[in-house]
């Protein structure tokens, strides 16, 4: 009995300890504590995949480090819904929309013809994504990534390291065979009939917790379609249980509800201007932190906006012309086939995919299962293209950084390729396959976009990339040209496409690559 209970108790203790450490580290100040410091050897902005890697590596090296995160931290609990349940955007924990008094976890932006969603929470995108942990396709790697690690270096060292530290693994057979995951089996059969056979993907869902959900031992979350607003019971291994936990254990400091708004180069250090937010999103006060090294992990949008705003304000004047360029949406497309027999709620964990590259007239596409999170009567899919050509860029002509994507600028090749996949699916399976789907039909997201922008988008991406591409805006080690004490560690470093993969793994691997070089230089 003791041995059987041990792993459960150890896991609970680990999660509770990680949550407690984050909560304590995030406090802006406590009665009787030492005066709040403002200078650190290193500052990391953001706690997504890149920022978490930087924080963990700096902590392991004993570097005096502060992490700034605009979002809040949320604990895990076996029974309580600590995140917004289901796809309920009316729950105040759902959306990050400070202008409406909300400091939830999911932010939405309308960028011209594209809507973008991203995580605004401790753990960043790892809290709100579907767990897919996919490596870039080797056949096209050199076409997409023209600087940084070679494919041999990436696949031999950095991808295995990232997979190990993210604790990603394929869905076990017994979980795949369970009733809630019927949609995965339906998807695989549908794709096989269309001549596009699927293979398992690594996922950061914790299959041990999912098994406990299936046995009724914890509140149903993953099997009940929860994903985009977080998984309260820890059934998804977000970064606060991996890299960030390691960073805090090593003594790294974390400040939540701290939004970086400007960076200024001073003679021998960098100054970061921060808005300290209240829980309702209102600005409480402004502060300035200083450091010798700065690591930007605020996401492709957040990092690029911060860099351009800082240049406009006169704080970072030596950046080159490539900052703000190379922006892509990873060719995200959505497909749904109806009618389909998908019983009960539809889990959103992405665990299976086909790489479709058998027609030279169309862009290569990875086609992944994508649950709807609700009983929909449809089989969903996320399609991700390989694209080394279609990009857009930021503008500062108005006096402030703006990203407005012209219609078709990023979907010129992805749209027809997705439509071809849909044709093959319907020819083999019957019914109707709809693609490209506008964001307005993705459950739970369209109302969020409408709430934050007032209108609905043409297309939707959860994978905005680029803005400070490696080898152009930075050197091959991720150092910002003109300001080498600043390193980019997030999706802004990516050249706009993850080469047929969800970008979480390549961002993590590239961040490890950048941090290897940073620590060698130190």
Beta bridge partners of 274: 260, 287
10 within domain boundaries: no
Residue 11 lies in a domain: no
User: Does any domain span residue 19?
Assistant: no
Mean pLDDT of 234-262: 98
Report the percent of the chain where pLDDT is more than 70: 87
Distance CA 133, CA 129 (A): 10
Q: Tell me the mean pLDDT in the region 157-178.
A: 98
Residue 3 counted as domain residue: no
Residue 33 pLDDT greater than 90, yes or no: no
Query: How confident is the model at residue 375, as a pLDDT?
Result: 63
pLDDT the model gives residue 156: 98
At 221, is the pLDDT very low, low, confident or very high (cuts 50, 70, 90)? very high
Is residue 514 scored above 80 in pLDDT?
A: yes
Higher per-residue pLDDT: 485 or 411: 485
Q: Is there a domain that residue 29 lies in? A: no
Per-residue model confidence as pLDDT tens digits over 419-451: 999 999 999 999 888 776 654 444 455 555 554
pLDDT band (50, 70, 90) for residue 374? low
- pLDDT 10s digits, 99-126: 999 999 999 999 999 999 999 999 999 9
Q: In this model, does residue 228 exceed pLDDT 80?
A: yes
CA-nearest of 429, 169, 464 to 303 is: 464
Name the strand (E) or helix (H) holding 185: helix 182-193
**pLDDT in the model for residue 90:** 92
- d(C-alpha 19, C-alpha 248), whole Å: 10
Position 7 pLDDT exceeds 60? no
Residues contacting residue 146 through CB under 8 Å, at least 6 positions apart? 471, 495
**Confidence band of 496 (pLDDT split at 50, 70, 90):** very high
Residue 349 lies in a domain: yes
Q: Which of 29-38, 93-102, 408-417 is predicted least confidently?
A: 29-38
Instruction: Provide the pLDDT for residue 336.
Output: 86
Question: What domain count does the chain have?
Answer: 1
Strand extents, DSSP E, 241-301: 253-255, 258-265, 270-277, 283-296
Mean pLDDT confidence for 73-88 = 94
Residue 200: burial class (beta carbons within 10 Å; 0-12, 13-18, 19+):
middle
pLDDT band at 13 (very low <50, low <70, confident <90, very high): very low
Per the structure, the complete domain to which residue 193 belongs is given by: 39-520
> Residue 223: pLDDT above 80?
yes
pLDDT of residue 378: 82
| pLDDT at residue 513 greater than cutoff 90 | yes
**C-beta of residue 403 within 8 angstroms of C-beta of residue 311:** no
Signed CA dihedral, 144, 149, 150, 152: sign only:
negative
pLDDT for the residue 111: 95
Q: What is the CATH number of the domain that holds 82?
A: 3.50.50.60
Of 471, 114, 60, 488, nearest in space to 298 by CA: 488
Confidence of residue 377 (pLDDT cuts 50, 70, 90): confident
Check residue 34 and give its pLDDT.
41
**pLDDT tens digit sequence for 192-206:** 999 999 999 999 999
In tens, the pLDDT along 338-356 reads 876 655 567 999 999 999 9
For residues 153, 158, 160, 161, the Cα torsion angle rounded to the nearest 10 degrees is 150
Say whether pLDDT at 333 is over 60.
yes
Per the listing, tokens 């977080």 go with 230
The least confident of 214-218, 256-260, 405-409 is 405-409
Q: What is the pLDDT of residues 446-493, one digit of tens each?
A: 555 554 555 555 689 999 999 999 999 999 999 999 999 999 999 999
pLDDT at residue 93 greater than cutoff 90: yes
Please give the backbone phi and psi of residue 367, each rounded to the nearest 5 degrees, phi first.
Answer: -115, 120
25 belongs to a structural domain: no
For residue 68, the SS3 value is strand
Confidence bin at 521 (pLDDT 50/70/90): confident
- pLDDT band at 181; cut points 50, 70, 90: very high
User: 23 pLDDT exceeds 80?
Assistant: no
pLDDT tops 80 at residue 279:
yes
By percentage, how much of the chain surpasses pLDDT 90? 80
- The overall average pLDDT reported for the chain is 90
Rounded CA separation 23/46 (Å):
16
33 located within any domain: no
């Amino acid at each position: 009995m003791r041995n059987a209970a041990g792993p459960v108790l150890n896991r609970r203790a680990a999660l509770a300890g990680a949550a407690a450490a984050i909560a304590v580290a995030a406090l802006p100040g406590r009665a009787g504590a030492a005066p709040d410091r403002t200078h650190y050897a290193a500052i990391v902005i953001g706690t997504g995949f890149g920022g978490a890697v930087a924080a963990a590596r700096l902590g392991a090296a004993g570097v005096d480090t502060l992490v700034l995160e605009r979002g809040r931290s949320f604990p895990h609990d076996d029974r309580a819904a600590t995140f917004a349940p289901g796809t309920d955007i009316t729950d105040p924990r759902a959306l990050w929309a400070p202008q409406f008094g909300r400091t939830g976890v999911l932010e939405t932006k309308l960028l011209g013809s594209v809507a973008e969603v991203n995580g605004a929470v401790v753990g960043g995108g790892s809290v709100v994504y579907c767990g897919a942990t996919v490596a870039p396709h080797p056949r096209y790697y050199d076409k997409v990534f023209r600087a940084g690690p070679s494919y041999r270096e990436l696949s031999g060292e950095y991808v295995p390291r990232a997979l190990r530290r993210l604790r990603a693994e394929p869905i076990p057979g017994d979980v795949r065979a369970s009733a809630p995951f019927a949609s995965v089996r339906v998807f695989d059969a549908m794709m096989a009939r269309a001549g596009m056979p699927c293979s398992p993907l690594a996922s950061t869902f914790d299959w041990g917790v999912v098994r406990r959900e299936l046995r009724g031992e914890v509140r149903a979350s993953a099997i009940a379609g929860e994903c985009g607003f977080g998984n309260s019971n820890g059934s998804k291994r977000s970064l606060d249980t991996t890299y960030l936990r390691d960073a805090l254990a090593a003594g790294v400091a974390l400040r939540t509800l701290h939004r970086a708004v400007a960076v200024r180069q001073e003679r021998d250090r960098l100054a970061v201007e921060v808005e300290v937010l209240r829980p309702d999103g209102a600005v409480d006060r402004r502060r300035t932190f200083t450091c010798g090294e700065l690591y930007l992990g605020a996401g492709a949008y957040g990092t690029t906006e911060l860099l351009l705003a800082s240049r406009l304000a006169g704080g970072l004047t030596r950046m080159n012309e490539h900052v703000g360029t190379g922006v892509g949406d990873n060719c995200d497309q959505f497909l749904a086939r109806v009618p389909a027999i998908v019983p009960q709620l539809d889990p959103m964990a992405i665990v299976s995919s086909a790489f479709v590259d058998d027609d030279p007239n169309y862009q290569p596409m990875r086609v992944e299962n994508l649950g709807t999170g609700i009983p929909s009567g449809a089989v969903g899919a996320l399609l991700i293209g390989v694209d080394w050509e279609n990009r857009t860029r930021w503008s500062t002509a108005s006096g402030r950084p703006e990203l407005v994507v012209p219609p078709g600028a990023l979907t010129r090749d992805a749209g027809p390729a997705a439509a071809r996949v849909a044709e093959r699916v319907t020819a083999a399976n019957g019914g109707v396959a709809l693609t490209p789907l506008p964001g307005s039909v993705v459950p739970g997201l369209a109302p969020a976009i409408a709430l934050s922008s007032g209108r609905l988008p043409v297309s939707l991406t959860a994978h905005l990339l680029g803005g400070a591409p490696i080898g152009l805006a930075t050197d091959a080690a991720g150092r910002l040209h003109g300001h080498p004490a600043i390193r980019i560690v997030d999706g802004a470093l990516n050249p706009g496409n993850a080469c047929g993969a969800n970008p979480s793994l390549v961002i993590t691997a590239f961040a490890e690559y950048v941090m290897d070089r940073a620590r060698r230089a130190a």
